[in-house]
Amino acid sequence: MGPGRSGTAGRSPEIDRRPASAWAPLRYYPMFRALWIAQFASNIGTWMQTVGAQWLLVDRSPLLVSLVQTAASLPIVVLALPAGAWADLVDRRRLLFGAQCGMFLAAAALAMTTFLGAASPAVILTLTFLLGCGNAVAGPAWQAIQPDLVDRGVLPQAAALNGVNMNLARAVGPALGGLVVATAGAGWVFALNAVSFVGIAAVVARWRAPERADVGSRERLVDALRAAAGTCGTR
């Protein structure tokens, strides 16, 4: 794939004159398609990981089982504002790549401790929380790069396909996770989840994002964050 906006490069003029269909981002934009497929595999892996973690804790306490989802979701609440700022201030490609590497390490550590029989509730919840932190950091950056992957005219279709990606993975992931846990054990669920992050990291590493010359919006965002922090401090 060539550098720059891979979705635009290599398309024929006839394609540009066609009305955009619901599947246009997947059909005509190779980098969007590659990232969509990799993200789908990773989303499935995330739901499989949730099933595996809850399975390991089901005999311990119902509270611990519920804390798995809390550990995965709490970082999204805590890191929503700073993650959005990071996505605007730093190189989004590097941010996405770093987040995938961090989640790979957390998932691999969870798989290793499970294989060794050392996956205590504290270890499971801590590593699940770290995985949630990676998702929280990557989420805003993933949304922000969509205009770099597809043309403006098909952004609504791209957003809809991203929603399909998440919902389809939510439907398929737990079933596959239960199947793997039943046939091979929870450790393999965590190992497969770790591998899924490698797929996204590989695609992101191949992507050459366009340069962002306009920094005015980033400066305004920083000012807004400072103002919000000052408002919270006076209450």
Task: Determine the Cα angle at 49 with ends 136 and 81, to 5°.
Answer: 5
The pLDDT value recorded for residue 85 is: 83
Backbone φ and ψ of 15, nearest 5°: -65, -40
Q: Write out the two tokens for 182.
A: 């039943």
Residue 10 domain-assigned (yes or no): no
Cβ within 8 Å of residue 64, ≥6 positions away: 57, 121, 125
The pLDDT value recorded for residue 87 is: 84
Residue 97 domain-assigned (yes or no): yes
Residue 216 domain-assigned (yes or no): no
Q: What is the pLDDT of residues 12-51, one digit of tens each?
A: 333 454 556 889 999 999 999 999 999 999 999 999 999 9
Q: What is the pLDDT of residues 108-127, one digit of tens each?
A: 999 999 999 999 999 999 99
pLDDT exceeds cutoff 70 at 225: no
Residue 43 domain-assigned (yes or no): yes
Task: Determine the Cα angle at 109 with ends 108 and 113, to 5°.
Answer: 120
What is residue 1's DSSP assignment? -
Number of domain units in the chain:
1
Residue 72 domain-assigned (yes or no): yes
pLDDT exceeds cutoff 90 at 187: yes
| C-alpha to C-alpha distances, 18 to 22, 90, 158, 159, nearest whole angstrom | 12, 36, 16, 19
- The strand ranges marked E within the chain are none
The pLDDT value recorded for residue 228 is: 46
Residue 8 domain-assigned (yes or no): no
pLDDT exceeds cutoff 50 at 9: no
The pLDDT value recorded for residue 91 is: 87
Look up the CATH number of the domain holding residue 111: 1.20.1250.20
Range of the domain at 70: 29-209
pLDDT exceeds cutoff 90 at 213: no
pTM over 0.75: yes
Q: Write out the two tokens for 93.
A: 């490609």
Residue 111 domain-assigned (yes or no): yes
pLDDT exceeds cutoff 60 at 148: yes
Residue 217 domain-assigned (yes or no): no
Which is nearest to 36 in space by CA: 230, 194, 199?
199
What is residue 21's DSSP assignment? P
Q: How far is CA 53 from the centre of its chain?
A: 19
